[in-house]
Structure 1
Amino acid sequence: MKPPKPASRPDRVSLWRYMQLFRQDILSAQPARLYRAWMAEFRTPFFRSYMMNQPDLVKTVLKDRPEDFPKSDRIGEGLRPLLGNSVFLTNGETWKRQRRIIDPAFEGGRLRETFPAMWDASEAAAGRLREGVSEIEAQTSHAAADVIFRTLFSIPIENELAAAVFDEFRIYQRSQPILNLAAFVPLPKWMPRLFRRDTRASAARIRDLIGQLVAARADEIAKGTAPDDLATKIMTTQDPVTGEKFAPEEMIDQVAIFFLAGHETSASALAWALYLMALYPDWQDKVAAEAQALSTCDFSVISKLSVTRDVFRETLRLYPPVPMMVRENTCPEHFRDRDVPKGCQLVLSPWHLHRHERLWDQPDDFDPARWHTENGKACQREAYIPFSVGARVCTGAGFAMVEGVLILARLLRDFEVETVNGRNPVPVAHLTVRAQDGIWLRLRKRQR
C-alpha cells in the first residue's frame, strides 16, 4: 500500500477554476506532470510563476544567490495580521538583523539545554493518550504546542496564557485561507488588504496574549529572575552589528512565527509519521524497539534512535509541512532557455521535489532505508529541502528533528497505532500539509 497523495487537477483548466482550486488546496490544484517537470511556467493576466524542480536551479535561488531572490510579499500577505514583521516575512537588512539576534538561541549547544523541556512535553503527550480511536492531529498539535511553550517560556500548555494562545490559534487555523486576493492580483502597497473579519480578530487576540507573555518576561529579566530559556536568550541578545535588541512589538512578531512554524509544522509531521507507522507495522515495531532506550531524560538517547530518525526523515520527504516556498526575482533571468522577467514568482516546491520521478527511486513509496542507498544520499544533498536550504534555512531545523524523533519514539514506546477502516487521510495544504478530515488512528497499549 502506498501512502496517500492528493488528486492532481487536469492539465488544462480555466484561470478562474485554477484560482478556486489553488485557494482551496494548492496540492490538488497542481497537474500530475509537475512530478516529472524540471521547470514549468504558469501565466495569469497579472504575473508569471515558474515552478523549479531542477536541483541546480533550486540551488541557484536558495543557496547561491538568495539576495537576488527575496521572499515574495504576495504570498505572505495572508499571514501579515498574525506575523507582522517577523523573520518569516522580512527581507534584506531587516531580515539579516533579525537572524543575527535569533540564531544564537538555536545554536547546537542550546539543543542539549532545551532537551529536558522536550522530554517533559513528550512524557505529557504520552500521558494524554488513551486506547481507542483518536483523531491524532489534535494530539500532535497539543504536544507540539506544549514543546513550544516549555522551551520558549518555561511554562506547560496547561498554563492559563499558554492554553489561551493554543485555543485561539485553533480558531485562527479554521479562519485563515492559504492565500488571499494579493496572491493573484498585484495590489499596490497603499491599498488596504482584505482579510476575513474573524481572521483579523483572531490574529489580534493571539498577538495580545503573546504580548502579555513578552511583557511578563521583560519584567522578570529586569528583576533578574527570568529562567534561562529561549525567550530570555532572544530578548537579551544584542545585534552584534547595531547593538540593538528586539523591541516588545518585534518580539511579539518573532514569538508568533515561532509558534506558527514550530508548532504547526511539527504537529503536521508527527501526525503523518504516526499514520505511516500504522500503515507500515514492520517499521513501527522497529521504532518501538528503539524506543525502549527512552527511560531517563538523557540527551544522548537521541543518538540511539537512528531508525526513528530515518522514519521521521522519510515522513518529511513524503509530507513536507511547508509544501511550497515562493521567491521573487529582482532582475531578469534566463533559466532553461527561458527568459524570466523581473518580478516573477519562483516556486520551490518540496512537495514535488521530494516526489520527483526523475530524481528519486520509487518516489511515492515509504522507505526509510532509502537514506542509506546511493540514490537516497544523492537526493538528500540535492533534492531534499523540508526546512529550506541556504541562508534562509529554518533556524529551528535541528530543534525540530530532535523534537519529532523524541516524541514519535516516546508515543510508540507505550502505544501501538493502527489504521481505521474508511478513514483514509487525504493530504491538503492549509497553513501546512494536513489531512482533509483529520488522521484517525486506533491506539492500543503496547505490551512491553
Structure 2
Amino acid sequence: MTQPPKPPDRAERVSLWQYMRLFRHDILSAQPAKLYRAWMAEFRTPFFRSYLANDPALVRKVLKERPRDFPKSDRVGEGLRPILGKSVFLTNGALWERQRRIIDPAFEGGRLRDSFDAIWQASEAAAARIAAQAGHEVEIEAEASHAAADVIFRTLFSIPIDHRIADQTYHAFRRYQRTQPILNIAAFIPLPRWMPRGFRRGTRESAAEIRTLIHGLTDARQSEIDTGTAPDDLATKIMTTADPETGDIFDVDEMVDQVAIFFLAGHETSASSLAWSLYLLALFPEWQDKVAEEAQQLDTPDFAVMSKLKVTRDVFRETLRLYPPVPMMVRETTQPEVFRKRDIPLRAQVVISPWHIHRHNRMWEDPDGFDPGRWYTENGRYCAREAYLPFSAGRRVCPGAGFAMLEGVLMLAHILKEHRVVLTQRPAPVPVAHLTVRAQNGIWLRIVRR
C-alpha cells in the first residue's frame, strides 16, 4: 500500500548525543519512534527539562484552559528574532494582548470575503505560470513559494509579486528559509547576550535585507494613509486600527515586525502545504481526479464557489495533518506543574507537536496514510476535535487560519482544473523542518495538460 513519505524511523531510544547530532541535520529526523505512541515524554539536557505533551488533556490545559500560565518559550525566539523582532508570534503577556487587539479585527467578519478577489487573481496567476511549463518537470516547492508570496503581497499591500520590492523580498526570503532551522543552538544551551547565537552563514544578512525591504513598503503605506490615498487592504486595516483599550496604533517600526510574521506565517506555511498537497495528489491520482472535477465549477470570482470545493478542502485538511507546516510549538511553565502524575519544574519547556499528534497511532486510524475521506468517520471527527491543530489552538490560534484554508483550496482547484501533476523518476521527497516542513531536495512533478 502506498504511503506518503516521512523521515526515516529512529530507534526506540535516542541518546542526547545522538539527538543533538541528528538535530543538526533536521529536527524531524531526530525523533525516536516511540514518540508517535507516547502520551508524554521527557527530554533532559544539562540546562533544562523539556516535556513532549501528546495527551489531548495536556494540550487543552496548555493551549486553551490556562494559556497565560504557559507563555511562548523564548528558546524559539532565539532563532527567529533577527527577522521577526517583537512580532506577535514571539511576544507574551500584555504586549502580545495589545498586538492581538490591533491585528485581529483585520481578519474578522467579512474580511475573508473582501480578500477573495486578490486570492483568486493570485491563484489564476499561479495556474498560468505552472501551465506554461506543461510537458516539463517542475520543482513544485519553488512554484508554491512564488504563489503564496503573491497572495501575501496582493492581500497585504495590493501589489502583485512582480512588483520590484515584492520580488526582491520574495527572493530574500527564499534565501533566508533555507538557512534558518526552527531552533538553533541557543535553544538548547543558555547563552549570555554577547555570545554568538549560532546562526548559519547568511541568515542575519538575509533577515536584515528582508526587514529593510518591508520597512520601505510599510513606510510608503503610512504616507498613503496620511494623505488618504491608501488602498483598503490588510496593511491599511491593521495600521489604522486603534487598540480599543488604549487608543494606540502601530507605528511603522512595530508594523515591520508584524509584516515579517505575516510573511513567515502566510507565505512559508501556505507554500509548504500547497507543495505537499500537489505531491500527495500526484501520489494518489484518484483523489486528484476528484479535485479536478470539482475545479470545473471555477468560472468567475464568486466567493460562493468555496462551498462547492468540498473534496478539495478535505484534501488540503489531510495534507495539513500529514505535513503540519509548523511541526512543533514550545511553551514554558511559569510555576511547578503536575502532568500525568509527574512533577514538572518551573521554567520547563512544554513541546506541543502537531507532527507527532497528527500521526499518533493511539488516536488516529491509519495515522501515516493519506485519506481525505477520514474526516467523515467517527474517528476522524473525534481527532478533528482532539488531535488536530495545524494552526495551533486557543487564544494563540493563527488569526489567518481562514485565509490559509481559502488560499490552499483555491490554489489547488485552479492549478488542477486544466492540468495534471504526475510523479517523476526522482526519489520520493523526504520531509525536513526548516522554518516549516519542506522537502529535503525539493518536490519535483511533471505537468501534463488534461
TM-score range, shorter chain: over 0.9
Q: Structure 1 residue 39: deviation in Å?
A: 0.3
Gaps in structure 1 of 5+ consecutive residues: none
Residue 82 of structure 2 corresponds to: 81
Residue 444 of structure 1 corresponds to: 448
- Tell me how far apart the structure 2 counterparts of residues 93 and 190 of structure 1 sit (CA, whole Å): 27
- Tell me how far apart the structure 2 counterparts of residues 112 and 84 of structure 1 sit (CA, whole Å): 30
Residue 293 of structure 1 corresponds to: 297
Residue 124 of structure 1 corresponds to: 125
| Secondary structure in 2 matching 1:220 | helix
- Tell me how far apart the structure 2 counterparts of residues 201 and 54 of structure 1 sit (CA, whole Å): 40
- Tell me how far apart the structure 2 counterparts of residues 106 and 444 of structure 1 sit (CA, whole Å): 37
1:276 maps to which of 257, 280, 301: 280
- Tell me how far apart the structure 2 counterparts of residues 445 and 256 of structure 1 sit (CA, whole Å): 37
Q: Structure 1 residue 180: deviation in Å?
A: 1.8
- Tell me how far apart the structure 2 counterparts of residues 338 and 332 of structure 1 sit (CA, whole Å): 11
Q: Structure 1 residue 23: deviation in Å?
A: 3.0
Question: CA 1:312–1:192 in structure 2 vs 1: closer, same or farther (change >3 Å)?
Answer: same
| Paired residues of 2:26 and 2:432 also in contact (CA < 8 A) | yes
Q: Structure 1 residue 188: deviation in Å?
A: 4.1
| Paired residues of 1:50 and 1:344 also in contact (CA < 8 A) | yes
Q: Structure 1 residue 20: deviation in Å?
A: 2.3
| Secondary structure in 1 matching 2:118 | helix
- Tell me how far apart the structure 1 counterparts of residues 21 and 419 of structure 2 sit (CA, whole Å): 41
CA RMSD of aligned residues (A): 1.1
| Paired residues of 1:273 and 1:311 also in contact (CA < 8 A) | yes
| One-letter amino acid of the structure 2 residue matched with residue 382 of structure 1 | E
1:177 maps to which of 178, 181, 196: 181
| Paired residues of 2:37 and 2:360 also in contact (CA < 8 A) | yes
| One-letter amino acid of the structure 1 residue matched with residue 288 of structure 2 | Q
Q: Structure 1 residue 121: deviation in Å?
A: 0.2
Residue 15 of structure 1 corresponds to: 16
| Paired residues of 2:14 and 2:32 also in contact (CA < 8 A) | no
2:232 maps to which of 228, 231, 237: 228
> 1:147-186 counterparts in 2 under 5 A?
147-186=151-190
Residue 214 of structure 1 corresponds to: 218
Identity %: 71
Question: CA 1:187–1:172 in structure 2 vs 1: closer, same or farther (change >3 Å)?
Answer: same
| Secondary structure in 2 matching 1:161 | helix
| Paired residues of 1:423 and 1:439 also in contact (CA < 8 A) | no
Question: CA 1:374–1:14 in structure 2 vs 1: closer, same or farther (change >3 Å)?
Answer: closer
- Tell me how far apart the structure 2 counterparts of residues 431 and 188 of structure 1 sit (CA, whole Å): 24
| Secondary structure in 1 matching 2:291 | helix
- Tell me how far apart the structure 1 counterparts of residues 331 and 169 of structure 2 sit (CA, whole Å): 30
| Paired residues of 1:36 and 1:358 also in contact (CA < 8 A) | yes
2:202 maps to which of 198, 201, 204: 198
Residue 318 of structure 2 corresponds to: 314
Q: Structure 1 residue 194: deviation in Å?
A: 4.5
Residue 404 of structure 1 corresponds to: 408
Q: Structure 1 residue 17: deviation in Å?
A: 2.7
Gaps in structure 2 of 5+ consecutive residues: none
- Tell me how far apart the structure 2 counterparts of residues 189 and 422 of structure 1 sit (CA, whole Å): 45
- Tell me how far apart the structure 1 counterparts of residues 137 and 317 of structure 2 sit (CA, whole Å): 26
- Tell me how far apart the structure 2 counterparts of residues 12 and 111 of structure 1 sit (CA, whole Å): 46
- Tell me how far apart the structure 1 counterparts of residues 346 and 192 of structure 2 sit (CA, whole Å): 17
| One-letter amino acid of the structure 2 residue matched with residue 58 of structure 1 | V
Residue 111 of structure 1 corresponds to: 112
| Paired residues of 2:291 and 2:312 also in contact (CA < 8 A) | yes
Q: Structure 1 residue 114: deviation in Å?
A: 0.3
Q: Does 1:265 align with 2:269?
A: yes
| Paired residues of 2:117 and 2:301 also in contact (CA < 8 A) | yes
Aligned length: 446
| Secondary structure in 2 matching 1:108 | coil
- Tell me how far apart the structure 2 counterparts of residues 261 and 157 of structure 1 sit (CA, whole Å): 17
| Paired residues of 2:421 and 2:448 also in contact (CA < 8 A) | yes
Q: Structure 1 residue 75: deviation in Å?
A: 1.6
Question: CA 1:211–1:294 in structure 2 vs 1: closer, same or farther (change >3 Å)?
Answer: same
- Tell me how far apart the structure 1 counterparts of residues 50 and 83 of structure 2 sit (CA, whole Å): 26
| Paired residues of 2:165 and 2:213 also in contact (CA < 8 A) | yes
| Paired residues of 2:364 and 2:379 also in contact (CA < 8 A) | yes
- Tell me how far apart the structure 1 counterparts of residues 19 and 200 of structure 2 sit (CA, whole Å): 21
- Tell me how far apart the structure 1 counterparts of residues 172 and 271 of structure 2 sit (CA, whole Å): 16
TM superposition score normalised by structure 1? 0.98
Q: Does 1:66 align with 2:70?
A: no
| Secondary structure in 1 matching 2:47 | coil
Q: Does 1:325 align with 2:329?
A: yes
| Paired residues of 1:27 and 1:429 also in contact (CA < 8 A) | yes
Q: Structure 1 residue 7: deviation in Å?
A: 1.0
